[in-house]
Amino acid sequence: MTALPATDQPNETRIPGAVSAAYGLNAKAPHRKAALAFVDFLGSVRGQNLYNRSGATLPALPSNSFSVDPAVAEVARRQKDGTTVPFMDQRWPNSEVQQTHFEQVRALFAGTTDIAHALAAMDSAYE
């Protein structure tokens, strides 16, 4: 991966980058104590390194103890430099927006909708 320059000024270039997964714990989970211990492990330096090395992704918090896979070295450098921006879906207010986005892209490729209708569907899902 590499960032495409936004302008002739390298310090203005940003690359989308994000943590690869998010986890949650159901309040009524039957094995709550074990689940919390697993979440704590995933958040530890050891857990982050094991999980992210096996998936060629980056830890949630940049760490000097993490060996970066060459495929994501550029993103890791930019994460440490603060020159990443969140993916658009990280700021969407609900899960319906992403599903609507996928449906509208498919419909555009299939020729069953146009841009105005696709954007109206996205606006409706966003609200």
Q: Which residue has the tokens 């940003």?
A: 14
Residue-wise pLDDT for 64-116, tens only, equals 777 788 888 888 888 888 888 877 776 788 889 989 999 999 999 999 999 99
Q: What is the DSSP string of 61-108?
A: S--TT----GGGHHHHHHHHHT-EE--GGGG-SSHHHHHHHHHHHHHH
Query: Is 12 in contact with 6 (CB distance < 8 Å)?
Result: yes
**CA gap 80, 58 in Å, rounded:** 11
Per cent of the chain over pLDDT 90 is 30
